[in-house]
A and B are shown apart, each in its own frame.
Chain A
């Protein structure tokens, strides 16, 4: 083992290293995904510098989607309270709202419009980001597939809203959508007959449209709830500052460029040119450029592709976590830490004197190893002949991690050495490799039991650097947050209080330069420890502190 070394244990991470993607896409699709992922990397790093990692909007697009949904809902309820659901009243009531209440009604109407547009934008970005990072297959298939209907529901809710204003834009949209729906067997060309002449319109139609405009968003909310069901403690609101700033920006936009109606609808005429809301009405030009049948075909193919994507990519799913009952005392820390609810507690099945045991729900398991990092049996100080912990990953277990750490520590002999535990999904830690630095990469930093930090320091490393994903943007949702809490002593299993924090640093970033900077600072501080530890190095060869498990 050379003194400068990197050790990779899993290769399951895709988000921040597309060259190691587990998917077997067709080359063109792979290239497009890599390109998109690289664009997101560049943008995210730039946004990190401007907003700070925690406030970076690109790292919380899903949460922003929820937040914008609530803004749209609240503003929509206000507008609905003053909306007249009749042919003559629909347009008039909106105009009255804008004129009589420019600072309340007008603002609410504009906010309803612009927040809806922002919702469409963040959802589109959310989809492209998750797609480019390869987060759609394996254990994520459910979240991905359940997200597809949300696109349709979101569009239906948004487009439906345009009908209600009953201005010339509403007229064109209503007719176009009727023509499009009329292509479907069972609907027929009779739907559009509702919009032939003013006399064919009825107040009941507007009541139906209002019902749909309320009902579809409720279905959307239900779908959003289903979408996050497989995530423990999902983030459904953005950071407070970001949320407040976003609302402020939307309000400024509403005041500066209020959303206005077009001329009242007149079925005897058709506007040749329209101010289109491209976030929702992008399909309108497609409809008139092609045909209703071709547009249906295009959208059906796009939907089917999205739905089948998790199985089309054909990547091999890593083995799920396994419980070793002989080492499981039923403490349930793995259950508390698993980000996807993939570990549950059940009554003991082996007759041992513990009431419960951990059981892995293999379909939900992300193979991140966070459970292994949470297990109190994962301490490397154990000296049992076979180092087996209560719950572990079959292909990269804590025993292998300890062996590799031992190997790395041996390579550091005689040097002022540092050990870097780095998340494969965070910054590329291989750039840190240099004499006296051993880099050990984990599928998720949450897999690292904090006792490994103490073990490294007590076994001769001068300093330990822990490199995690960006704050709030862990590939496996909460590994970074859990690791930070464990090292601070705020969460079990915690790093013991007597371990010198001066010799330890945790960095949450996807930027390798931040790791380099932190390591440089850490190593300069550690020079003061040089003399104190020289005696320890001279005794290296025996691993201190191991006890019988």
Chain B
């Protein structure tokens, strides 16, 4: 085989090999290696809520002298502070504390809803969940509490939510 022809054949073979490497690289890393983000025997507990806590202080009646000093268009008889209470959440799994955190209300004046989201892997199987909420800083302890037995299999999602209009704590 003439040298030139042999050289060309080798070049084309080299190109084919490099294109194949490129295709393999793209094809492989487009799907592999597989990523495991949960152990095979784990379920996932997702806690998520968005809830405005109670206002931090009760409304106060303004006196006549105080009202007199205010512009006429702003003379509200009550002074109601806007700041809301943070929301404290506590989760127990089979009687053992799993999670406890306090979420601050949103907004510069702390007058928005407190929102929280946490992702907690738990072992699959039967568990007794006890969830407690406190949305009023003026009271000690918790003003919402809910217990429920759950049976997640591996890969199941157990969701803890809070909806005041549906009775408070929801586990599904």
Q: How far is it, in angstroms, between the C-alpha of A118 and the C-alpha of B32 when the chains are bound?
A: 15
A2 within 8 A of B: no
Name B's interface SS.
Answer: mixed
In the complex, chain A residues whose CB is within 8 Å of the CB of B33: 276
8 A Cβ contacts from A234-252 to B: 245-246, 249-250, 252
Q: Which B residues are in CB contact (< 8 Å) with A189?
A: 48, 50, 115-117
Are B30 and A114 closer than 8 Å at their CB atoms? Answer: yes
Given A50-B14, A188-B106, A252-B23: A269 and B30 within 8 A (CB)?
A: no
B75 within 8 Å of A by Cβ? Answer: no
Residue from A193, A252, A253, A270 within 8 A of B38 (CB atoms): A270
Question: Do A192 and B117 touch (CB < 8 A)?
Answer: yes
Residue among A52, A190, A252 with the highest chain B CB neighbour number at 10 A: A190
In whole angstroms, how far apart are the Cα atoms of A256 and B23 in the complex?
10
Q: 1/0 contact trace for B28-45 toward A, CB 8 Å?
A: 011111111111101010
Q: A188-B115, A192-B48 are in contact. Are A275 and B26 (CB under 8 A)?
A: no
Closest Cβ–Cβ distance, residue B172 to chain A (whole Å): 7
* Interface-lining segment among A133-141, A277-285, A522-530: A277-285
* Whole-angstrom CA separation of A251 from B61 in the bound complex: 76
Contacting residues, chain A, for B38 (C-beta < 8 A): 270, 272-273
Contact B117 A172 (CB under 8 A): no
Which residues of chain A from 278 to 332 have any CB-CB distance to chain B below 8 Å in the complex?
278-279, 281, 284-285, 288
Knowing A179-B117, A245-B19, the reply to whether A273 touches B35 (Cβ < 8 A) is yes
| Contact among A172, A192, A271, A278 for B29, CB-based, below 8 A | A278
Q: Which residue of A lies closest to B10 (CB)?
A: A50
Asked if A231 lies at the interface with its beta carbon under 8 angstroms from chain B, I say: no
Which one, A47, A192, A272, A275, contacts B39 given CB within 8 A?
A272
**CA of A256 to CA of B39, assembled, Å:** 32
Interface size class of A (residues with CB under 8 A): 35 or more
**What separation, in Å, do the CA atoms of A429 and B146 have in the docked complex?**
81
A196 at the interface (CB under 8 A from B): yes
Chain A residues touching B, majority SS: helix
A197 near B172 with CB under 8 A, answer yes
Q: Do A284 and B30 form a contact, CB below 8 Å, given A197-B159, A271-B155?
A: no
| B35 with A285: CB separation less than 8 A | yes
Within the complex, what minimum Cβ distance (angstroms) separates A519 from chain B?
Answer: 22
Give, as a whole number of angstroms, the nearest-CB distance from A5 to chain B: 35
User: CA of A277 to CA of B40 in the docked complex: distance in angstroms?
Assistant: 21
Which residues of B from 7 to 60 have beta carbons under 8 Å from A?
Answer: 11, 14-15, 18-19, 22-23, 25-27, 29-40, 42, 44, 46, 48, 50
Is B154 among interface residues, defined by CB-CB distance under 8 A? yes
A278 to B35, CA, bound (A): 10
Whether B159 and A196, one on each chain, are in contact in the complex, defined by CB atoms closer than 8 angstroms, is yes
B156 in contact (CB, < 8 A): yes
Q: Provided the pairs A51-B15, A196-B48, A252-B23 are in contact, do residues A288 and B37 lie with their beta carbons within 8 angstroms?
A: yes
Contacts of A270 in B (CB 8 A): 38, 44, 155-157
Structural contact, A273 and B36, CB atoms closer than 8 A = yes
A249 to B32, CA, bound (A): 19
Select from chain B the residue with minimum beta-carbon distance to A183.
Answer: B117
Q: Is A28 an interface residue (CB 8 A)?
A: no
Instruction: Please indicate the chain B residues that have their CB under 8 angstroms from the CB of A257 in the complex.
Output: 27
Q: In the complex, which residues 130-159 of chain B have their Cβ closer than 8 Å to any Cβ of chain A?
A: 154-157, 159
Residue A95 at the B interface, CB < 8 A?
A: no
User: Roughly how many angstroms separate A249 CA and B15 CA in the complex, as a whole number?
Assistant: 11
Tell whether, in the assembled complex, residue A114 and residue B172 are in contact, meaning their CB atoms are under 8 Å apart. Answer: no
CA distance A93 to B102 in the complex (A): 43
Tell me the bound Cα distance from A121 to B50 in angstroms: 40
Q: Does B161 contact A (CB under 8 A)?
A: yes
A117 on interface, CB distance cutoff 8 Å: yes
B35: shortest Cβ distance to chain A, in Å?
Answer: 4
- A370 CA to B148 CA, complexed, in Å: 78
The answer to whether B15 and A272 have CB atoms under 8 Å apart is: no
**How far, in angstroms, from A51 to B11 measured CA to CA in the complex?**
7
Interchain nearest-CB distance for B32 vs A (Å) = 7
Task: Please give the distance in Å from A516's CB to the nearest CB on chain B.
Answer: 19
Residues of B within 8 A of A274 (CB): 34-37
Binary contact track A9-53/B, C-beta < 8 Å → 1, others 0: 000000000000000000000000000000000000001011110
Is there a chain A Cβ closer than 8 Å to B166's Cβ? no
Contact of A47 with B18 in the complex, beta carbons under 8 Å: yes
User: Which residues of A have CB within 8 Å of B161?
Assistant: 196
> Is A486 in contact with chain B by the CB < 8 A criterion?
no
Centre residue among A193, A267, A272, A285 by max chain B CB count within 10 A? A272
A329 CB, nearest partner CB in chain B, Å: 48
A193 to B23, CA, bound (A): 39
| B18 near A50: Cβ-Cβ < 8 Å | yes
- Provide the residues of chain B in CB contact with A190, threshold 8 Å: 50, 115
In the bound assembly, the distance between CA atoms of A272 and B159 in angstroms comes to 17
10 tightest A-B contacts by CB? A189-B117, A50-B14, A272-B38, A275-B31, A276-B35, A189-B115, A273-B36, A278-B29, A253-B23, A249-B19
**A to B CB contacts below 8 Å, 12 in the list:** A49-B14, A50-B18, A52-B11, A188-B106, A189-B115, A189-B117, A193-B50, A193-B115, A257-B27, A270-B38, A276-B32, A279-B30
B-to-A contact residues, CB < 8 Å: 11, 14-15, 18-19, 22-23, 25-27, 29-40, 42, 44, 46, 48, 50, 106, 115-117, 119, 154-157, 159, 161, 172
Q: A114-B30, A179-B117, A272-B39 are in contact. List 11 more A-B contacts (CB 8 A).
A: A50-B11, A51-B15, A179-B119, A190-B115, A192-B117, A246-B19, A270-B157, A273-B37, A276-B31, A276-B32, A279-B29
